[in-house]
């Protein structure tokens, strides 16, 4: 069931909501076997909420897919299972078995290898195994420069390859959804939303999100300028390192060793919105994986990263 | 962001100009001066400026908006990028569009989704071909508000005369483009003059800054005031008790109890329920994504359009439209494309190019094809009748895209001018004696044996032997041959790509009539393009078209050279000769492939006869 609304939407959010619902319906109508990529973060929580609205009073006519890397925050996994049960959605969880067997992890292999094997490769495996021909995701154009040029319906050649020069022009919302066998589409219904729009909408619609987005006292280790929450014992402490309890929150969700927290006392949605209004650093600042190399996002997208 | 802050709503802005006009810098300046650049982003840009930047030790603001690696290295924007920003007075989506000449298509994409265009002119260079081109495209795609940013004004010493001269020239040029407002502003993206702050360097300029104008301009869309149009996107039927039609209201408004008509079928009903994102509502207006229930059990599917009974869209299968071509492969009249209009996919082809528009001079020229980035006024025909409005009256129900049937690339976009009357008045005649009756009286299954292959491959030789044998066996046959038809029906056609397409279209239509008459038709045509062979296949009923590929290597054909044509082609005496100066696209799924270099023609004919007899026997 949809949560009870807490506020009226601004005309701006209404317009974004209608656009996203239209895109989600278009995906269901145009593809044989679509899937919703559910990363448990705030953006995919919004997409999930919009999908419920798009097909009400019916149910969402496609399953949810979560790529679990083995390093997700425990809070995220609990939240995921609770939400899927509440909604009554079909949830598929996939972890790359080869990566698991080889013991790939972010601590010894580094963020690049880990994300490539446990994230990108795992996603491709799952899409292929289930024969999904369209995958809905929560990426937004304001996140990063390479995203700013992404299409709403983003065509992938066989092997899930993204070719920035081969993308189709999108006019008037007349999306070209035609694909040949072996090709797939990635679909981004909230392309035109900003981080602020997402939080504004979450607040107005009372959408449940992972508690990690709100400030609490958490065990924090300082590593390379980032505040890392030690979510379990797998991360060895360096000599002299001692987790300290700090008031922090997270701006993005990801694997816990790769996701930096920031000091915050914002415990409610209103306080989070207020913090964002004052913020002078961008959203992806806390993501350790994006700073690997210049233009790293574009490279990852070409390889099939969502 | 409370309601009052965004009371002016969202403004969708397109920027366009030539390479080096400084578009990216101007947008970067706008974001920077609105203090919308985050500290870590700015630090990254400062680092990149030393590596890629073009302004020495300064922070290169263009790097804020240029995205992809390759274009960064080339120093040009090659695609459409979308930027979002909000000031205390308004929210904006800025489509950053390329200035490079061959990327007209990206500009059209940005324009289709925008309400206002900022057209940049380098103050040192004045109006360029691209300035005219981009202005025309904006006009064609229905943009009615324009800002003329005379940029790099610092490099002409803030000279009013330069500004006035450029503005005067532009006003003359743009007079016929139908803009409702055109506001010229002298700017410097690099130094920020008149971007967000009034400049002390241009005391002679008394108009608004760029930002002031963007925040204030009224572009209030009239979408809610024109007739109701609702293209059905998805039929929502979760159980026996609920049947709703989901979609986004394209224009106008509708309320509970009002009568509507399904445009194509003419069936009427009235609205019994409207479900919005938050449940039941009494009205639905343009832009809202809703689910509509009708009082009666009427036949409605994805692609249908609901409209007021008293104000219906045209329903036609022929219409005139401006077509902007976006594909490397040129548009050829007669060739079939997939067309999307509203939520309908159908096949369409251009039946005539009335004229091509020279986008620099706006002159009308005659044309036989449209190449990449060319615009023409064309007549089109679709396989099924579809609902439509003129683009000038409705930007959503008057627009369509064409998609290449083999590559699935978006090949063109179109703006409908008007439906063609003759389409609505010409109906197919139905006769009492039909194809089945004629075939039964002849005692055979009619079919079309389509022989394709290079000149000299042996198509006609095999076809003659096949026809002879069929005739002796008592079958009723007819042969269509390329050379013979070109002396009569097709004598007005040459050998250019577009004439080859028309040649095959006519042959296909003639063959279809003969199959309809009950005959076994043998057609021998080089028919080099996959698209046209597919077109003929689709003119006939399932199973009637039999594609026979006479696969003979070009070396063998050249060696045979029965008509001496290859020798002439190699001497350059014949233009557009298939296999020499014009391509042959091999069939990918022919019913039969004959090895034209190996067995004698009699053996090949036996293979064809065996296939025909199997088909006649029902196999």
Q: Mapped to the 3 state alphabet, what secondary structure does B290-304 carry?
A: EEEEECCCCCCCCCC
The strand pairing partners of B230, in sequence order, are B306
Whether B289 sits inside 8 A of A168 (CB atoms) is no
Q: What is the pLDDT of residue A298?
A: 59
- Least reliable range by pLDDT among A43-47, A85-89, B315-319, B615-619: B615-619
pLDDT exceeding 90 applies to what percent of chain A? Answer: 50
What residues of chain A, 25 to 54, have a C-beta less than 8 Å from chain B? Answer: 25-26, 28-29, 53-54
Find the mean pLDDT for residues B330-342: 94
Flag if A12 and B108 touch (Cβ within 8 Å). no
Q: What is the pLDDT of residues B261-308, one digit of tens each?
A: 999 989 999 999 999 999 999 999 999 999 999 999 999 999 999 999
Q: What is the pLDDT of residue A293?
A: 47
CATH class of B223-308: mainly beta
> Mean of the per-residue pLDDT values for chain B?
87
Quickly tell me which residue has 């040192």 as its tokens: B124
Q: Which residues in chain B are closer than 8 Å to A176, comparing Cβ atoms?
A: 340, 401, 403, 408, 410
Q: Which of B5, B77, B83, B84 to mutate against chain A (most A CBs within 10 Å)? A: B84
**Cβ atoms of B189 and B54 closer than 8 Å:** no
Q: What's the Cα-to-Cα distance from B441 to each of A52, B365, B444, B518, B530, rounded to whole Å?
A: 59, 52, 8, 9, 35
- Which residues in chain B are classed under CATH 3.40.50.300? 10-216, 435-616
Neighbouring C-beta atoms of residue B300, cutoff 10 Å? 21
Q: Of B483 and A81, which is predicted with more confidence?
A: A81
Domain boundaries, chain A: 11-207+295-303, 211-289
Per-residue pLDDT at B161: 96
Q: Is B75 left (phi over 0), alpha (psi -120 to 50) or beta?
A: left
According to CATH, the superfamily of the domain at B10-216 is: P-loop containing nucleotide triphosphate hydrolases (3.40.50.300)
Contact flag A22-B399 (C-beta cutoff 8 Å): no
* The pLDDT value given to residue B583: 87
Nearest to A305 by CA among A150, A122, A158: A122
The pLDDT score that the predictor gives to residue B430 is 57
Which member of B109, B238, B400 has the closest CB to residue A58? B238
Residue ranges, CATH 2.40.30.10, chain B: 223-308, 314-422
Judge whether residue B329 has pLDDT over 70. Answer: yes
Helices A195-205, A269-278: inter-axial angle, 10-degree rounding: 160
pLDDT higher than threshold 90 for residue A241: no
- Give how far A102 is from chain B: nearest CA, Å: 33
Which sequence positions of B are flagged as catalytic?
527
Interface test with chain B among A19, A142, A145, A175, by most B beta carbons within 10 Å: A145
Partner residue facing B401 (CB), from A53, A176, A180? A176
Half-sphere exposure of B59 (CA within 13 A, CB side): 14
- The closest CB to that of A21, out of B91, B237, B289, belongs to B289
Q: How far is A172 from chain B (nearest CA, A)?
A: 5
Interchain contact A176–B (C-beta under 8 A): yes
Confidence of residue B563 (pLDDT cuts 50, 70, 90): confident
From the list A12, A26, A170, the residue facing B109 with the nearest CB is A170
Tell me the two tokens of residue B235.
């039929």
Q: What is the pLDDT of residue B579?
A: 83
Taking only residues 239 to 278 of chain B, the set having a beta carbon closer than 8 angstroms to any beta carbon of chain A reads 242, 246-248, 275, 277-278
ipTM summary value:
0.89
Total length of chain A:
306
Selection from A6-15, B18-27, B34-43, B206-215 with the highest mean pLDDT: B206-215
The reply to whether residue A56 touches residue B289, judged by beta carbons under 8 angstroms, is: no
Question: What's the topology of domain B314-422?
Answer: Elongation Factor Tu (Ef-tu); domain 3 (2.40.30)
Q: Which residues pair with B350 in a beta bridge?
A: B380
Question: How many angstroms separate the CA atoms of B586 and A5, rounded?
Answer: 60
Average pLDDT, chain A: 87
Q: Tell me the pLDDT tens digit for each residue of A108-141.
A: 888 888 888 898 999 999 999 999 999 999 999 8
| CATH fold label, B435-616 | Rossmann fold (3.40.50)
Stretch B155-183: mean pLDDT: 94
Q: Which residues of B478-517 are buried (b: 16+ CB within 10 A; e: fewer)?
A: eebbbeebeeeebeebebebbbbbbbbbebbebbbebbbe
Most confident of B34-38, B99-103, B191-195, B496-500: B191-195
| CATH 1.10.357.10 corresponds to the domain A11-207+295-303 | no
pLDDT tens for B404-423 read 999 999 999 999 999 986 55
Q: B474 CA to chain A: closest CA distance, Å?
A: 44
Measure the CA–CA gap between B225 and B204, rounded to whole angstroms. 41
pLDDT tens-digit profile of B571-613?
A: 888 878 888 888 899 998 899 999 988 889 999 999 999 999 9
The alpha-carbon gap from B475 to the nearest alpha carbon of chain A, in Å, equals 40
What was the pLDDT predicted at A8? 76
B170 has pLDDT over 60? yes
Would you call A146 and B67 a contact, using CB atoms and an 8 Å cutoff? yes
pLDDT at B494: 84
**Statement: residue A172 has pLDDT above 80:** yes
């Amino acid at each position: 069931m949809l949560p009870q609304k807490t506020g009226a939407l601004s005309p701006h959010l209404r317009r974004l909501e209608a656009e996203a619902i239209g895109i989600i319906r278009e995906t269901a109508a145009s593809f044989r076997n679509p899937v919703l990529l559910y990363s448990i973060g705030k953006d995919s929580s919004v997409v999930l909420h919009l999908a419920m609205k798009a097909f009400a009073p019916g149910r969402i006519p496609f399953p949810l897919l979560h790529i679990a890397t083995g390093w997700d925050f425990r809070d995220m996994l609990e939240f995921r299972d609770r939400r899927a049960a509440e909604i009554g959605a079909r949830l598929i969880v996939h972890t790359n078995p080869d990566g698991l067997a080889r013991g790939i992890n972010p601590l010894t292999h580094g963020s690049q290898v880990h994300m490539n094997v446990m994230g990108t490769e795992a996603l491709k495996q799952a899409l292929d195994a289930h024969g999904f021909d369209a995958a809905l995701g929560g990426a937004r154009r304001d996140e990063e420069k390479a995203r700013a040029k992404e299409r709403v319906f983003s065509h992938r050649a066989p092997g899930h390859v993204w070719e920035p020069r081969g993308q189709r022009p999108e006019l008037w919302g007349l999306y070209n959804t035609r694909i040949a066998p072996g090709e797939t589409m990635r679909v981004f219904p909230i392309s035109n939303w900003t981080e602020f729009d997402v939080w504004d909408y979450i607040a107005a619609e009372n959408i449940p999100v992972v508690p990690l987005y709100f400030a609490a006292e958490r065990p924090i280790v300082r590593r390379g300028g980032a505040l890392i929450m030690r979510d379990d014992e797998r991360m060895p402490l360096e000599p002299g390192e001692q987790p300290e309890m700090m008031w922090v929150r997270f701006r993005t969700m990801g694997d816990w060793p790769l996701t930096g927290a920031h000091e915050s006392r914002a415990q409610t949605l209103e306080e989070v919105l207020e913090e964002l209004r004052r913020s002078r650093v961008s959203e992806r600042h806390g993501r350790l994986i994006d700073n690997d190399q210049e233009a790293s996002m574009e490279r990852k997208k070409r390889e099939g990263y969502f | 962001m409370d309601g009052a802050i965004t009371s002016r709503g969202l403004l969708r802005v397109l920027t366009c100009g030539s390479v080096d006009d400084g578009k990216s810098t101007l947008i970067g300046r706008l974001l920077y001066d609105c203090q919308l650049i985050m500290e870590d982003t700015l630090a990254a840009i400062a680092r990149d400026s030393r590596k890629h930047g073009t302004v020495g030790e300064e922070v290169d603001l263009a790097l804020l908006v240029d995205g992809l690696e390759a274009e960064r290295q080339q120093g040009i924007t090659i695609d459409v990028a979308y930027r979002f920003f909000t000031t205390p007075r308004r929210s904006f989506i800025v489509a950053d569009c390329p200035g490079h000449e061959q990327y007209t298509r990206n500009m059209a994409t940005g324009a289709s989704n925008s309400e206002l265009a900022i057209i940049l002119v380098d103050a040192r260079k004045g109006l360029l071909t691209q300035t005219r081109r981009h202005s025309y495209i904006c006009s064609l795609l229905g943009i009615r508000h324009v800002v003329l940013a005379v940029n790099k004004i610092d490099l002409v010493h803030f000279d009013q005369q330069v500004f006035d001269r450029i503005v005067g020239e532009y006003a003359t040029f743009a007079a016929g483009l139908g803009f409702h407002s055109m506001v010229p502003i002298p700017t410097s993206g690099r130094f920020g003059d008149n971007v967000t702050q009034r400049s002390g360097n241009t005391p002679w300029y008394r108009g608004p800054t760029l930002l002031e104008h963007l925040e204030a301009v009224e572009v209030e869309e009239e979408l809610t005031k024109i007739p109701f149009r609702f293209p059905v996107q998805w039929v929502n039927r979760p159980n026996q008790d609920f049947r709703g039609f989901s979609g986004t209201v394209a224009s106008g408004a509708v309320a509970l109890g009002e009568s509507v008509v399904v445009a194509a079928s003419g069936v009427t009903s009235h609205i019994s329920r409207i479900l919005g994102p938050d449940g039941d509502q009494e009205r639905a207006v343009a832009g809202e994504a809703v689910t509509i229930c009708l009082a009666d059990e009427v036949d409605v599917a994805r692609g249908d359009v609901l409209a007021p009974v008293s104000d219906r869209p045209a329903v036609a299968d022929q219409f005139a439209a401006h077509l902007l071509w976006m594909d490397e492969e040129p548009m050829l009249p007669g060739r079939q494309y997939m067309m999307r209009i509203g939520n309908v996919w159908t096949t369409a082809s251009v039946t005539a190019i009335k004229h091509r528009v020279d986008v620099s001079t706006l002159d009308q020229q005659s044309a036989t094809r449209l190449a990449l980035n060319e615009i023409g006024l064309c007549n089109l025909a679709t396989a099924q009748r579809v609902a439509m409005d003129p683009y000038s009256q409705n930007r959503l129900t008057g627009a369509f895209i064409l998609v290449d049937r083999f590559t699935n690339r978006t090949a063109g976009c179109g703006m409908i001018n008007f439906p063609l009357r003759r389409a609505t008045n010409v109906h197919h005649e139905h006769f009492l004696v039909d194809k089945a009756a004629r075939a039964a009286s002849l005692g055979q299954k009619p079919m079309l044996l389509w022989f394709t292959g290079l000149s000299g491959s042996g198509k006609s030789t095999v076809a003659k032997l096949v026809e002879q044998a069929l005739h002796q066996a008592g079958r009723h046959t007819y042969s269509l041959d390329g050379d013979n038809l070109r002396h009569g029906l097709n004598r007005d056609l040459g050998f250019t790509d577009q004439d080859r397409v028309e040649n095959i279209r006519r042959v296909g239509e003639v063959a279809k009539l003969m199959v309809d008459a009950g005959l076994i038709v043998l057609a021998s045509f080089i028919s080099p393009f996959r698209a046209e062979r597919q077109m003929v296949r689709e003119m006939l009923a399932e199973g009637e078209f039999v594609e026979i590929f006479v696969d003979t290597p070009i070396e063998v054909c050249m060696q045979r050279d029965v008509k001496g044509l290859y020798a002439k082609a190699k001497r350059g005496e014949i233009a557009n000769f298939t296999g020499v100066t014009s391509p042959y696209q091999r069939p990918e799924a022919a019913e039969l492939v004959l090895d034209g270099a190996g067995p004698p023609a009699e053996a090949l004919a036996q293979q064809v006869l065996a296939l025909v007899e199997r088909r006649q026997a029902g196999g």
